[in-house]
Amino acid sequence: MAKPAVIKTKPTLLSVADFIDRIADEQQRKDGRVILKMMEKAMKEKPKMWGSSMIGFGDIRYKSPRSGREVDWFKIGFSPRKANLSLHLVDLNRHAAILPKLGKYKKGAGCLYIIKLEDIDINILEQMIIAAAK
């Protein structure tokens, strides 16, 4: 069994609404609200702030595919970053069949990076969020 990792990013009592309201870039703020609504609908629960800049839904024990380390994490979430919106959908391989239809994005181990929602097919993203929430 993998050794549990100690991570700094944990759930906080910070307000998700206040965090989104403080996003400086107007387009990212609007896109953040759209993603928030899609994730709330898919998860049927309220989000929590994780650290100072990540919005997460649900609680899971996540095992890193690279290191094998296990951490307490959120099931799905996102973070508006300076250069893009980072969507955490844990296992992007499960979306391999529809990813080519998504539009303009970059992919990390468990993250999908989107500059703005108008660059992608929002219906495909919603399908991915719903599947990741299950």
How do 85-88 and 60-63 pair as beta strands?
unpaired
Q: Is the pLDDT of residue 10 over 70?
A: yes
> What's the pLDDT at 3?
53
- pLDDT tens per residue across span 47-94: 999 999 999 999 988 887 778 888 888 999 999 998 999 999 978 888
- Is the distance from CB of 129 to CB of 92 less than 8 angstroms? no
Q: Is the pLDDT of residue 30 over 90?
A: yes
Q: Is the pLDDT of residue 37 over 90?
A: yes
The whole-model pTM stands at 0.88
- pLDDT tens per residue across span 101-125: 999 999 987 799 999 999 999 999 9
**Euclidean distance between the first and the last CA atom of the chain, given in angstroms as a whole number:** 25
> What's the pLDDT at 64?
75
- Is the distance from CB of 79 to CB of 57 less than 8 angstroms? no
- Please report how the helices 26-43 and 122-133 are oriented relative to each other, as an axis angle in degrees rounded to 10: 40
Could you list the beta-strand ranges (E) of 21-130: 48-50, 54-57, 60-63, 70-73, 76-80, 85-88, 106-107, 111-114
Q: How many CA atoms lie within 13 A of 17 on its CB side?
A: 1
Architecture of domain 26-133: Alpha-Beta Complex (3.90)
Report the SS3 class of residue 72: strand
